[in-house]
Amino acid sequence: MRETGNKTTCRQWLGCFCCGMVLFVGMGAIKARADSEGRVVTYPAPAGEAATEDYRVEVDGNPVDVYRAETEFFDKKYYFASFDFSGEVTVRVTSPQSLEGASILPERFGIRPTLEKPNALTFTASKPFRIAIERDGRNSPLLLFANPLETDPPKPDDPNVVYFGPGIHNPVNIRLTDNQTLYLAGGAVVKGAVRAEGENITVRGRGILDGNEYPHLKGPGRFMLDMTSCKNLVVRDVILRGSWTWALVPNGCDGVLIDNVKICGSRVLNDDGIDLVNSCDVTIRNCFIRTQDDCIAIKGLTGHDRKACEKMTIEACEFWTDLANVFRIGYECETELMQDLTARDIDVLHYSPTYRKPEEFWSHAVFFLQPSDDMVMRRMRFENFRINADGGDIVLVLARPMVCAVSGRKYTRAGRLSECVFKDISVTGRRENFRGEMRVVGYDEEHAVEDLTFENVVRFGEVATADSPDVTIGDHTRNIRFGTR
């Protein structure tokens, strides 16, 4: 076996019986298999949605319908499929194109494929996973999402439930308020926008919220999932496809859980994955995000009384940006402060192939910290990151207070940055042109960068130090530390 970075290749792995029952939900069918070892649940796609030209997927002999997504980049398309299971299952993927050189990202799920023949691979799994199967790099990959079995789905006739069963729906705008649940059943494709405001609101289900039909910035709502002034908000398990702008946005919210959400974006500009706007007590976990723009952005915007962005945890996720930043924290800084973010156990599958220098205003980075408007940014912690390099260059860390402009108004001062940690950051894969610059620079003495720690930041086996190539500690910085375990 040859392993490079966060990918496992299939070429080196050369080398059912199933019983079924059908469960009906709404007007469509859910196919399930159950035996003493486990269970598989699949959700047939609505008529006209199943994409059959590039991939076929089976789990223990059960077909899993494949959907198509759009991107502005590479060969303009990719695919995704989703199923639920328990126990151990065997997954089979076939393609009219050869899978001999296919890679599976990331490696942390332990997927070990066997090539049955040039256009078919199989593997076993006993735990949920979210992977990309790439037969030709970033051209037409298959994203495959394996979920745990669903528990306690809501009833369609519950008066507090907005329920969409299997099929295609065109509600355009969905409004949610106190104690309501929006449920997208497996096999549902719901076209439109969601606006939620209130307490104890939940969005869940195995279905798809779809924005493919709306042009850039011309959707039916500000954002695909616009969650405003919510308390105790839960978004889980749904798939978001083809947003016309920012996809999932808690605005001025308190107490947010975003769990096992998959964002299949990159169709248009400005399609940030998850934007945390003036929100606190937020947990994001087990999510897969592919975007054209920033995967995760933390912002302060008007209309929220400068409410702080604080107490945020992001963990066990996979991120992929086709143009911009993986993490962009700051820029819009209409808030008193941004503080107490912990991001850990993250795989960066792909970063922007367009390199921009760290001194450029619109630089691209894996970690871009850019406080503005005299805002305090502090206690940002990034730990246990695995970054897959594909031979192209990217700025790894850019810590740089800036003077930005928001909604036609230019800030007059930069921000302040302190007490941040980058620990156990590993870059592997194809080195080629990769340098992975790390730049820390203050704006002036009043808007400095201080107390940053880089511990065990490793680029292709080389631990970064203050004297390493492509590490710059600039003016107006204090107490910038480097170390190893």
pTM of the prediction? 0.93
For 201-247, what is each residue's pLDDT tens digit?
Answer: 999 999 999 999 999 999 999 999 999 999 999 999 999 999 999 99
> 161-483 adopts what CATH topology?
Pectate Lyase C-like (2.160.20)
DSSP state for residue 108 in the 8-state scheme:
G
Predicted pLDDT at 408: 80
Residues 291, 321 contacting (CB under 8 angstroms) = yes
Lowest-pLDDT range, 4-8, 201-205, 405-409, 471-475? 4-8
Domain(s) labelled CATH 2.160.20.10 in the chain stretch across 161-483
Residue 32 predicted with pLDDT over 70: no
* Span 342-352, average pLDDT: 98
Residue 23 predicted with pLDDT over 90: no
Q: Cα separation of 466 and 438, whole Å? A: 10
Q: What is the mean pLDDT of the chain?
A: 93
- What CATH number labels 3-148? 2.60.350.10
For 138-160, what is each residue's pLDDT tens digit?
Answer: 999 999 999 999 999 999 999 99
Residue 27 predicted with pLDDT over 70: no
Q: How many CB atoms lie within 10 A of CB 185?
A: 24
Domain(s) labelled CATH 2.60.350.10 in the chain stretch across 3-148
* Span 321-333, average pLDDT: 97
Q: Cα separation of 214 and 212, whole Å? A: 6
Lowest-pLDDT range, 12-21, 39-48, 266-275, 381-390? 12-21
* Span 280-307, average pLDDT: 97
Predicted pLDDT at 31: 57
Instruction: Go through 260-295 and write b for each residue having 16 or more CB atoms within 10 A of its CB, e for each that does not.
Output: bbbbbbbbbeebbbbbbbbbbebbbbbbbbbbbbbb
CA 230, 204, 89 angle in degrees (round to 5)?
A: 145
